[in-house]
Structure 1
């Protein structure tokens, strides 16, 4: 199968607590993660808050410079690429952030926000860009009139649609969705998930879908990777993970899924409460 992304032993460590009288210590946010992504596949990345999911997503896009390991995108090792070298690749690797209100420029209209990627990459002339902006709004089910409005004038779900439209503007090959529905109401979550699924199929996107919600991940993913304290403890098809989890931590996450019927019983499995000894080094 055609592999679009390979991550080998990726590490992302941060130094914290460093000062005049402090030596500082290393926080191993991502600690030796390896996996591959097939073209057109959706990989769900799941784990509790603070386990390193979002850091991993940003490291793959080189928004953080990895401490060690390698990032192979379409057969090319981009690990050591400078910001200048990464710039042409940005159109192929995009991200949808958790909070669209924070990630969208509040001083720009929706039209300006959606036109900006084309301007940065010097694609098309003004008339073409205006046309493409309207097409993007239609793709994410927003009215053409939205082009002259500002992000704060929209609901949370509508703002996320704007964020998605911006992310797909340049027809990327890899899309990282970082908790894209966690800040939304349940009814709106379903609409956004269905939109992402529709776009993924229409555009043949390869997707890394980051979430702490196993039920959401199951709905959208071909395979699921379970992350715990910076490491992937289990990876497999969605069916394998949900029907036959091997790692105790995966079993714990599954047991935490809310019961939807009073007759259902869920075995509560105690998770290890202590931080692994290798997660923080003095």
Structure 2
């Protein structure tokens, strides 16, 4: 259930990385995110999907201020946090958390799980030592692990268990927003389902807003209220999850959906094979960036970039209404 006031508002967000700054030569940039906008409400999930390199992970890390945005605005609970310093962001870190793809890389191998889970409380000065021990035990139970796991080290757990620890750390301070950056893509399918269901249960219980970044559209469809499809740093389609899947308006979305495996091997479905490679984000093509791979493209598509138009279901395609 969405509320009237967005928890998070992203307006024309851009993230350009400088890759070449040679003397007497023009600077070269990677246009990783090139102008995206969306609103996210308390308890809502928005799924960001697209091929590797489209910029979806960069969106998540930029809105968390792990990268300083090149341009655009980030509003959290109505407050403009775009230009806050790292020191000013410390108090907001309690409200905005991230779950990464490989928890082993983000868990200190020399610390016990108990020390890792107590760290958020220690950084923000929350609770006494006794209270922190109690909260760690409660967190472990909440994510489906035994309380005595606190005395063990990260390498002693399976990938799915480590992801549960990552989730426990993310929810420790009861945040309002969690960015799930490919948080189930490295797990076995059966474990993926368990982790996704855990996230959905915690979201419902704690009214957490989720940004779910993934390339597996079947998973994204299951968890998302809204889906935003990215291509070369921009949204090409955004709308209600069921509408986007049932009536995709952009040729790129059509191709992505056609690649979802069918559970029934006898079911017939056209597989749309995209031709060519993704253009370089350092030198995107003129006009519609997807025109170089689009099977419907016309000559005019490469002349003018389409805007993201529509009411609830928006699409950036000159041919969407034809």
Q: Provide TM-score, normalisation by structure 2.
A: 0.84
Q: How does 1:138-149 map to 2 (within 5 A)?
A: 138-149=141-152
1:78 is aligned to: 81
1:273 is aligned to: 276
Comparing 16-25 with 142-151, greater Cα deviation is found at: 16-25
Q: CA deviation at 1:33?
A: 0.4
Q: Is the partner of 1:265 in helix, strand or coil?
A: coil
Q: CA deviation at 1:181?
A: 0.5
Tell me the alpha carbon deviations over residues 182-217 of structure 1, each in whole angstroms, 9 at most, x when there is no partner: 000111101000100000000000110000000000
2:190 is aligned to: 187
In structure 2, C-alpha distance between the alignment counterparts of 1:163 and 1:268, rounded to whole Å: 36
Given that 1:248 and 1:271 are in contact with CA atoms closer than 8 Å, whether structure 2 keeps it comes out as no
Q: When the two structures are aligned, how many residues end up with a matched partner?
A: 281
Q: Indicate how the Cα distance of structure 1 residues 177 and 277 shifts in structure 2: closer, same or farther if over 3 A, else same.
A: closer
- Which structure features the higher share of strand residues? 1
Larger radius of gyration: 2
Given that 1:33 and 1:232 are in contact with CA atoms closer than 8 Å, whether structure 2 keeps it comes out as yes
1:59 is aligned to: 62
Tell me the alpha carbon deviations over residues 154-207 of structure 1, each in whole angstroms, 9 at most, x when there is no partner: 000000000000000000001110011000011110100010000000000011
Q: CA deviation at 1:279?
A: 5.3
In structure 2, C-alpha distance between the alignment counterparts of 1:278 and 1:100, rounded to whole Å: 28
Q: Is residue 252 of structure 1 aligned with residue 269 of structure 2?
A: no
Given that 2:32 and 2:281 are in contact with CA atoms closer than 8 Å, whether structure 1 keeps it comes out as no
Of structures 1 and 2, the one with the larger relative CO (CA 8 A, separation 6+) is 1
Tell me, which stretches of 5 or more residues in structure 1 are unaligned? none
In structure 1, C-alpha distance between the alignment counterparts of 2:177 and 2:250, rounded to whole Å: 28
Q: How does 1:144-223 map to 2 (within 5 A)?
A: 144-223=147-226
1:125 is aligned to: 128
Given that 1:7 and 1:36 are in contact with CA atoms closer than 8 Å, whether structure 2 keeps it comes out as yes
Q: How does 1:73-112 map to 2 (within 5 A)?
A: 73-112=76-115
2:242 is aligned to: 239
In structure 2, C-alpha distance between the alignment counterparts of 1:117 and 1:128, rounded to whole Å: 13
Q: CA deviation at 1:18?
A: 4.1
Q: Indicate how the Cα distance of structure 1 residues 23 and 186 shifts in structure 2: closer, same or farther if over 3 A, else same.
A: same
Tell me, which stretches of 5 or more residues in structure 2 are unaligned? 285-322
